[in-house]
Amino acid sequence: MSLQNQRVVVLGGTSGIGLATARLAADQGATVIVASSNPESVKRALEALPDSASGEAVDLTDSAAVAAFFNGIEPFDHLVFTAGEALTLLEIDSLDLDKARRAFELRYFAALGAVSAAASKIRPGGSVVLTTGAAGDRPGPGWSVAASICGAIDSAVRALALELAPIRVNAVKPGVVRTPLWRGGLDYDETARQLPVQRVGEPEDIASAYVYLMNQPYSTGSIVSVDGGHVLV
């Protein structure tokens, strides 16, 4: 299977997992369009992608900007949403509800808004791949907000798979990955020792799951875990 002659839009596709997914899709022959809120990040991503790629700075929490972005591009085959901010743990006894709402704004509501704006542009046989996380299945102290976002995405995937059929809707559920979103908040070496695979994930590990779901024509409403065995320990 390959993505030859297909068009893939990756929101959050300018760094980390999103950029790795964009690169792998391009390696399989796709024309890639990436978007994120930072113009400099978009510029750097395009330098790392083939000349056929294009990109745009878009505030993904601004529904009007997202609608304008999709109105301005040609029909495409696959939508991938990997956008997120640096992870912040929120203890319940000192919970900052404003921070909690902001976390939901990008990781959940922006994803839902992007699907709404993009659905009519997705060509027959196409798909949506969202991003959830292992925290939804195995949270720790301080993870109530992050785990709730993951649970919301998990449920949305199943509902959207029915509502948007025959467009396929799936999600990838990463564990700990060596990306800027985790930087400064985790001891990678200690985490690696606790995992059955004895290492943390790399963006390329996770990217292969997104590309698998784009290529898999008989999968919808599914969530693929790529967590190094996080939920087992």
pLDDT, average across residues 88-103:
88
Query: Which pLDDT tens digit goes with each residue over 140-154?
Result: 888 899 999 999 999
pLDDT, average across residues 117-132:
98
Does the global pTM surpass 0.75?
yes
* pLDDT of res. 10: 98
Bigger pLDDT: 178 vs 185 = 178
Q: In angstroms, rounded to a whole number, what is the distance separating the alpha carbons of residues 25 and 34?
A: 11
Phi, psi values for residue 5, rounded to 5°: 65, 15
Mean pLDDT of the chain: 94
Q: Provide the residue type at 219 as one letter.
A: S
pLDDT over threshold 60, residue 184: no
Q: In angstroms, rounded to a whole number, what is the distance separating the alpha carbons of residues 183 and 188?
A: 9
* pLDDT of res. 14: 97
Residue 76: in which H helix or E strand, if any? strand 76-81
Buried residues in 182-221 as b, exposed as e (16+ CB within 10 A) = beeeeeeeebbeebeeeebbebebbbebbbbbbbeeebbe
Query: Which pLDDT tens digit goes with each residue over 29-46?
Result: 999 999 999 999 999 999
Q: In angstroms, rounded to a whole number, what is the distance separating the alpha carbons of residues 130 and 139?
A: 20
What domains can be seen in the chain, in order of their start residue?
Answer: 7-232 (3.40.50.720)
